[in-house]
Homo-oligomer: A and B are copies of this chain.
Amino acid sequence: MERKNTEGLLRQRLKEKGLKVTHQRILVLSVLEQNGGRHMTAEDIYELVAEDYPEIGLATVYRTLQLLWDMQLVDRINLDDGCVRYEIGHLCGGETKHNHHHLICRECGKVIPFDADLLDDLEHHIEKATGFHVLDHELKFYGLCSECMNKTE
């Protein structure tokens, strides 16, 4: 599977918009890239970037994540635990083609990733029916995980 140069993509898009390439922006994206499978909070990212670049501020991380999201370089997920999470964007050529969804247990709160790719048809249908151009989706299932099911019954 082809893998794009994510940093190069960032540089290019910043240039297009007349924005500046800073260490902080490069580092935030690079941390997300190196943690492909994880769903990271701003705080998580802040701590990891701070290992290499201790003078970074949390506010900068928030501002950068917003920017990267606007540019479609990162994906956003909300697991209903009070903070937004980020991961490297599916457009960046990460191995997860963003067909993974989440099963959230109502009882114990566990989050189980689940892969499926039945949404492409639906996206095409939406585009035809409404003129809305779909870029991304977020699908969550709520219910009871097998352990909690057994405990309850």
Contact = CB atoms under 8 A, between A and B. Distances in A.
A34 interface: no
Nearest to A121: B118
A13 interface: no
Contacts of A122: 116, 118
A137 B126 CA distance: 18
Copy number in the complex reads 2
A103 B137 CA distance: 9
B149 A133 contact: yes
Contact of A138 (B132, B142, B144, B145): B142
B144 A133 contact: yes
Nearest to A138: B140
A106 interface: yes
Contacts of A134: 103, 141-143
A58 interface: no
